[in-house]
Amino acid sequence: MLGGKRTSTRHVAVVLLMCLFWYVISSSNNVIGKMVLNEFPFPMTVTLIQLCSITLYSGPFFNLWRIRKYQDIPRAYYLRLIVPLAIGKLLASVTSHISLWKVPVSYAHTVKATMPLFTVVLTRVFFGEKQPTLVYLSLLPIITGVAIATVTEISFDMLGLISALISTMGFSLQNIFSKKVLKDTGIHHLRLLHLLGKLSLFIFLPLWLYMDSMAVFRHSVIKNLDYRVIALLFTDGVLNWMQNIIAFSVLSLVTPLTYAVASASKRIFVIAVSLLILGNPVTWVNCLGMTLAIIGVLCYNRAKQISKARELPLQVPNSHIKYTPLNDNYYRSSLNGNIGNGLHKGSASVQMPMPMPMSANSSSSSISNSLLVNGSGMPSGSTTRLLFV
């Protein structure tokens, strides 16, 4: 019992430490990204740097960590789902940086709190999935909070708002369809992140060369080799990659609901840190709108948990077979190997099959199959919040 308490305490301590790292890295990534875009206003180039970071760092580190490599994906499936996912990731990343460039970090993250709204609407459109009334009601504080924050935002910009909404919708679509890809292919979550990063970079590079490259090379930061801004660009790419890795680590240690609450808390942390460090002006009504939106996200997660709990009990069909418990004679005879002689009087004779011994190979095979289904032994259903934070 004492050992179990120690293990539980250690697990909680590890989760809290990982969440702390996640919050610090994510807030640092957003603050540094805002600083970079203020001095180097090229959101497409910032996106390119982050895609390069995912592509260059993931392969060697994932091999070092012995992350399971992905198998070949059929060409038709690749074109039908993987390529659209990569394009969606690219679009969501670019619009996310445009919103970060045009509006304060605090407001951008308040708008991103609308992701549950997009998830509910898009799952209804694509899969016809209906939600309980409690889930729909939990969306009201989110909508109200974002509306209040929008009306009272001092540094409001329409392009920033539209970009933040498009980005949130893109990340929501990725979360929905990545779940299908993970289930269909058995690919590891981090390997899917690496694959989408490489494909997005391949698609995006020609577009960046045509639209952004000449202006970037003419900018004073590049012409004068401003090492401070270049160092910030490099750091932004590394931090973006690291926060995806830590998000996966947290998700592998906790339940999906705990992860959702931790993610909402991270958004509060990012907003608070950005207000403290960047010092963009806000009113108390604006802060009220931000708070209401985050509370709405927590209410949504709680409503989803309650609705799932109500669906858990299974309806057992009525059966006319009367259950008769086995008596002590049957138990003793089964121990002596005389199975079948200890049933109640009047019961039908039943031959009990002997259990087959499981070999080491079959055991390892079943474990590996389980890992392929859930991805590194994680609870199913938790994967949709992994890649896109």
- Please list, in sequence order, all residues whose beta carbon lies within 8 angstroms of the beta carbon of residue 68, skipping any fewer than 6 positions away: 188, 191, 371, 376
Say if 3 falls within a structural domain: no
Say if 341 falls within a structural domain: no
Say if 388 falls within a structural domain: no
- Please list, in sequence order, all residues whose beta carbon lies within 8 angstroms of the beta carbon of residue 326, skipping any fewer than 6 positions away: 342, 343, 344
pLDDT at residue 44, rounded to an integer:
95
Are 110 and 153 a contacting pair, CB within 8 Å? no
How far is it, in rounded angstroms, from Cα 203 to Cα 7? 46
Residue at token pair 């407001």? 107
Looking at residue 337, its amino acid is: G
Are 192 and 178 a contacting pair, CB within 8 Å? yes
Say if 160 falls within a structural domain: yes
- 10-residue mean pLDDT profile of the chain (389 residues): values are 65 86 93 94 95 92 84 85 90 94 93 89 86 90 93 91 93 81 84 90 94 91 90 94 82 69 84 89 90 90 84 50 47 46 41 44 40 39 44
Are 93 and 51 a contacting pair, CB within 8 Å? yes
Say if 78 falls within a structural domain: yes
Q: Can you give the residue range of the structural domain that contains 19?
A: 11-311
Structure tokens at 204: 């995006």
Residue at token pair 């059966």? 319
pLDDT at residue 263, rounded to an integer:
80
Say if 238 falls within a structural domain: yes
How far is it, in rounded angstroms, from Cα 97 to Cα 163? 8
Say if 377 falls within a structural domain: no
254 backbone φψ class: left, alpha, beta (φ>0; ψ -120 to 50): beta
Structure tokens at 370: 């389980």
pLDDT at residue 282, rounded to an integer:
86
Say if 318 falls within a structural domain: no
What backbone torsions phi and psi does residue 143 show, to the nearest 5 degrees? -60, -45
- What is the CB neighbour count within 10 angstroms for residue 37? 20
How far is it, in rounded angstroms, from Cα 175 to Cα 189? 12
Q: How many domains does the chain have?
A: 1
pLDDT at residue 255, rounded to an integer:
67
What angle, 0 to 180 degrees and rounded to 10, lies between the N-to-C axes of helices 189-211 and 227-253?
A: 150
How far is it, in rounded angstroms, from Cα 26 to Cα 243? 6
Rg of the chain in Å (alpha carbons): 26
